[in-house]
Chain A
Amino acid sequence: MKSSALSAARLVLVRDLKLAFRKRGQLVQPLAFFAIVTTLFPLAISPELARLREIAAGVLWVAALLASLLALEFLFRDDAHDGTLEQYALSGQSLTWLVFAKTAAHWLLTGVPLAVMAPLAGLALGVPYAALTGIMAPIALGTLALSLIGAIGAALTLGIRRSGVLLTLLTLPLAMPVLIFGAQATDLAVRGASYAAPLYLLAAMVVLGVTLAPLATAAAVRISLE
């Protein structure tokens, strides 16, 4: 019996999660990067909490953006090498659903851990306790938008060796709105103000990303398989 598109997408998601937990190196790398960058700032700037609190949102966001870009390179790399991506394209299932499942797995493995870790890094940067939950939501939403946007770039640069720099150059301009509104939301949360407006804008970007990015990613995968 033919598998449905949804059950095929679920298999891709489960498979990627299982693979990531068997090979933990790639899972830990962006998190370690995030932890190192955010803890270096207090050492480099000043241990004064009042000053750190001023820049906390910016530091958290730049570190989260770079950490999630760092992980993007691996999104399709292994699957392209061993022919798994070819088999996805030939599965008779909608490639859009399959790459969406891969992107979702990527977010669960990088974005969600980053969002969980952000409050800890926030504490080191002098963020008040009351604001800790408020910095998780923008980072969780923002990294989802980044994964969706980044997947397009990752698929486009598949055929290129050492594609890391090009991938960053391609993705960064598109990631700017996410950075701007994400940092603003986090900054408002740190100050104890309402951060709903920028958060809604982030959510709008996620909705746009969910509807359009997988289509573009699937098209890019097909091109790089030729």
Chain B
Amino acid sequence: MSRRSIKAEQLHLWRGVNHVLCGIDLCVSPGEMLVVTGANGSGKTSLLRTLCGLVHPEEGRILWGEQNVRQDLPQFHSELVYLGHEPPLKGDLSARENLRYWVGMRRTFTTSELDAALIRVGAGGWSEQPARTLSAGQKRRVAIAGVVLFAAPLWLLDEPATNLDVDGQRLVSNLIEEHVTAGGLVIAALHHELNLKSVATQRLELSSR
């Protein structure tokens, strides 16, 4: 696992006339989790997209370790996994194929690793079905298997437990706990409270405009 921490200094993001992020500061070290909360439209997704480098903030900088992420985006990207609120799956491919193409772009992995990730999220029984026949919760589980399979130190999760049943929410909590305990970093935008007792958790409340 990486020993680097992620730091953001005075992030300001404008979207047209909207001042979406107003001077956000944060610092998450290995073995820590940051929960981002806030009302709908308060900028949780914008913050995550800014942190992973998809969106350029108007002001401020993001540091991965000591280095500004803009200096080497590909290197930074290869150490993070971002899961947006839509699972990036193709309806015409099976769960297994989806993961092979999605995660395979980043790293090579063995079939047994893939099987293990699918079984872990409870997708063992329906991993060969086309993703369009899966329910929203099942798709979310496949996406979470992808997050695990990336084996990246930094997880940026946007509402990871959406559409999941109680069992699925417990699964997400357990995976996050394991990842953080192993020295990973998690930044998650959350609506539902996840039961995360055993990890060091910071909170960032975004105020709505």
Q: Which residues of A contact B (CB under 8 A)?
A: 1-3, 7-8, 11-12, 14-15, 18-19, 22-23, 78, 81-84, 86-94, 98, 225-226
Contact = CB atoms under 8 A, between A and B. Distances in A.
Given A14-B101, A87-B82, 5 more contacts: A1-B108, A2-B78, A22-B93, A92-B76, A226-B55
A82 B86 contact: yes
Nearest to A2: B107
30 contacts: A2-B78, A2-B107, A7-B108, A8-B106, A11-B101, A11-B104, A12-B105, A14-B101, A19-B90, A19-B92, A78-B90, A82-B87, A83-B86, A84-B88, A84-B102, A86-B82, A88-B105, A89-B77, A90-B53, A90-B54, A90-B77, A90-B82, A91-B77, A91-B106, A92-B79, A93-B74, A93-B105, A94-B74, A98-B105, A226-B55
Given A83-B87, A94-B74, A1 B107 contact: yes
A90 B80 contact: yes
Contacts of A15: 90, 93, 97, 101
Interface in B53-112: 53-56, 74-82, 84, 86-90, 92-93, 97, 100-102, 104-108
Contacts of A22: 92-93, 130
A1 B100 CA distance: 14
Contacts of A11: 100-101, 104-105
A3 B197 CA distance: 36
B28 interface: no
Contact of B90 (A2, A82, A86, A92): A82
B106 A89 contact: no
B92 A86 contact: no
B52 interface: yes
B90 A84 contact: yes
Contact of B75 (A7, A86, A92): A92
A87 B102 contact: yes
A7 B103 CA distance: 12
Contacts of A1: 107-108
Interface of B: 52-56, 74-82, 84, 86-90, 92-93, 97, 100-102, 104-108, 130
B61 to A, nearest CB: 17
A20 to B, nearest CB: 9
A14 B102 CA distance: 12
Nearest to B146: A87
Looking at B78, B81, B105, B130, the one whose CB has the most chain A CB atoms below 10 A away is B105
A226 B80 contact: no
A90 B52 contact: yes
B106 A3 contact: yes
B14 to A, nearest CB: 12
A8 B93 contact: no
A7 B101 CA distance: 11
A207 B56 CA distance: 33
Given A19-B92, A90-B80, A3 B107 contact: yes
Contacts of B79: 92
Top 9 A-B pairs, shortest CB-CB distance: A92-B78, A83-B88, A92-B77, A22-B92, A8-B105, A15-B101, A91-B105, A83-B86, A87-B88
A154 B113 CA distance: 37
Given A19-B90, A83-B88, A86-B84, A92 B104 contact: no
B88 to A, nearest CB: 4
Contacts of A81: 86
A162 to B, nearest CB: 21
A211 to B, nearest CB: 21
Contacts of B92: 19, 22-23
B54 A18 contact: no
A3 B105 contact: yes
A55 B199 CA distance: 74
Given A3-B104, A11-B101, A226 B90 contact: no
